[in-house]
Structure 1
């Protein structure tokens, strides 16, 4: 099976017209001033590892946004991919960070082997006054959430990519 990095360009996913928040298309036009792509091995400390790696990387690259919040969002995306998506046959998911050279916005992307995102329309909403789900934090941090299916070179669906765009300031 091809790795997520080898996947062909994809089509953005749309939610029903009556969805409380319509998704934005996955941004494909990021002119990366800085980019980091890696494979995360799924294990009990994967979210903590991701949080620390993202925070220290963004601080080291002097990204002007809140590196702690960005690290939290990356860890949430990894956790959601493992708990609600599907890991690739080799026991991994993919993580990509890209800082737009012009806007300094940060794209955080996680790819997994599931081609579905049940409940996307309400993913950033609070659940009936209970503790908010992890993606609720994306909205609190002024991030934009989107997703798309990923396809291999033969146009076969191989999974999905979830993208969050965080502002730099």
Structure 2
């Protein structure tokens, strides 16, 4: 039989007690718990609880670390924004932040006005331009349809109304 952990640590010979076969004589003499029969279920449960506690602590530490890193990144972004604003104020020769805000608002409104005029001009050009009708206007060729013979094509064209719409036979509904 193997030694208990106390006897093994102390380098002693482990002798199981005749009065209590679950403990050795040295553990009984020192009034300690003995594991001469191997670890008991409560030892395994204790180890499991300790591992779970450490896992939870590790998760909390990771969470705190991630929150701290996110805060650092936010602060750096804000700092870059402020440095950009500062350099913009210097470039424009402005004395206050209010002047910068006003100048930026004026630029934004000017850009919106230019964009609106451009869109209106494009819309007017599209409305005024004639729409050519040629074969390139029809983008619905289906190659899976069978090829029409001359007779089929003439019959189809003869059935088209004068408005260039649907064949006369199908306009009833």
TM-score, length-normalised on structure 2? Answer: 0.18
Task: Report the TM-score when normalising by structure 1.
Answer: 0.18
Greater helix content? 2
